[in-house]
């Protein structure tokens, strides 16, 4: 793939920043566009940072005019399911209307390719496991619906105006950069693995287990955890597969599921900490099992998750939390 300039909206966030590192390692130039509402300036290390909002057409146009990107990778989104239920308009404005604004700017400046950070939340409670791309999409919350709508908008615009678009629907992003330059830093934190490790580090008194009576081998929910470095490499690979006038979607996952109990047992072994657990009732809408069929991405991109063994995921996340994070200025 030839060297390209890539506008990475939301590139100061968790997956976006890891993707910027992967882009730079592949010889490309990432230009980060982020409002820093949930992203971090310290995570922007491989190209310029432009401060702006995904819904600001004038700002996006100015950045595209000055930097002349060849492609866009869009990570600019809100991603808390509970918040989406409480503030659905906020989610549709950012995740859905923001896609319209971004693609308008792309058309104004002849940017012909886009890769969208999408989600397995577009499937809702799946009819079958593992989940393939032809599994019916039935999202059960505004977050999932906002992502599905963004995909539909992207598809229609690509067909109408000759843009090339790929949506990457990933499962449970986890882990941290093995070099210690980047890691997961959310406020508030809602992802299982960092919550478990916070309990191990004494930053919270326990880890809550929501439901222990699911129809799974140990009674706890099973999820497909994929290392953030593997997600980043998939975004880089997807850029070269964008085709004018076409839209396609791909799952990103390992095809292997780990239960909550598996995660806690692995974290105990790696950290040497007891990790107190507290049983809670089931959360509404939590499917027992979510595991990806990512064979289409493997076939199309020649991509495979090389870092996503659960032990490696937790080891890298623990190193970030306990060693590398201390280098980052608090509050930055």
Which sequence positions are flagged as catalytic? 143
The residues, any chain, with a CB within 8 Å of residue 213's CB and separated by 6 or more, are: 219, 282
Whether the CB-CB separation of 39 and 274 falls below 8 Å is answered with: no
Q: Tell me how far apart the alpha carbons of residues 108 and 50 are, in angstroms, rounded to a whole number.
A: 19
How many Cα atoms within 13 Å fall on the side-chain side of residue 17? 22
Using an 8 Å Cβ cutoff, are 100 and 111 in contact?
A: no
Give DSSP secondary structure letters for 139-152: --SHHHHHHHHHHH
CA distance 97 to 77: 11
Q: Which two tokens stand for residue 127?
A: 């009819």
Task: Name which of 17, 13, 22 is nearest 238 in CA terms.
Answer: 22
């Amino acid at each position: 793939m030839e060297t390209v300039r890539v506008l990475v909206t939301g590139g100061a966030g968790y997956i976006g920043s890891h993707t910027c590192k992967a882009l730079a390692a592949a010889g490309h130039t990432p230009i980060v566009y982020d409002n820093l509402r949930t992203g971090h300036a310290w995570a922007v290390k491989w190209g310029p940072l432009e401060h702006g909002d995904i819904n600001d057409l004038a700002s996006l146009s100015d950045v595209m005019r000055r930097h002349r990107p060849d492609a866009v990778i869009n990570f600019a989104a809100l991603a808390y399911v509970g918040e989406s239920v409480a503030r659905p308009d906020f989610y549709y404005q950012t995740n859905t209307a923001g896609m319209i604004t971004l693609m308008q700017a792309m058309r104004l400046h002849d940017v012909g390719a886009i890769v969208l950070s999408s989600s397995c939340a577009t499937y809702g409670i799946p009819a079958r496991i593992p989940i393939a791309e032809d599994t019916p999409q039935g999202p059960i919350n505004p977050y999932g619906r906002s992502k599905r709508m963004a995909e539909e908008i992207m598809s229609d615009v690509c067909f109408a105006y000759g843009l090339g678009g790929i949506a990457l629907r990933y499962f449970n992003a986890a882990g941290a950069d093995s070099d210690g330059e980047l890691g997961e830093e959310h406020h508030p934190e809602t992802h299982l693995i960092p919550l478990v490790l916070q309990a191990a580090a004494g930053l919270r008194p326990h880890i809550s287990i929501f439901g222990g009576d699911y129809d799974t081998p140990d009674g706890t929910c099973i999820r497909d955890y994929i290392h953030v470095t593997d997600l980043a490499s998939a975004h880089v690979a997807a850029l070269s597969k964008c085709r004018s006038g076409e839209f396609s979607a791909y799952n990103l996952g390992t095809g292997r599921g780990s239960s909550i109990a598996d995660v806690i047992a692995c974290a105990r072994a790696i950290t040497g900490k007891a990790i107190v657990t507290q049983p809670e009732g089931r959360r509404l809408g939590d499917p027992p099992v979510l595991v990806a069929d990512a064979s289409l991405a493997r076939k199309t991109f020649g991509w495979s998750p090389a870092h996503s063994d659960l032990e490696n995921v937790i080891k890298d996340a623990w190193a970030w939390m306990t060693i590398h994070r201390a280098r980052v200025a608090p509050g930055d």
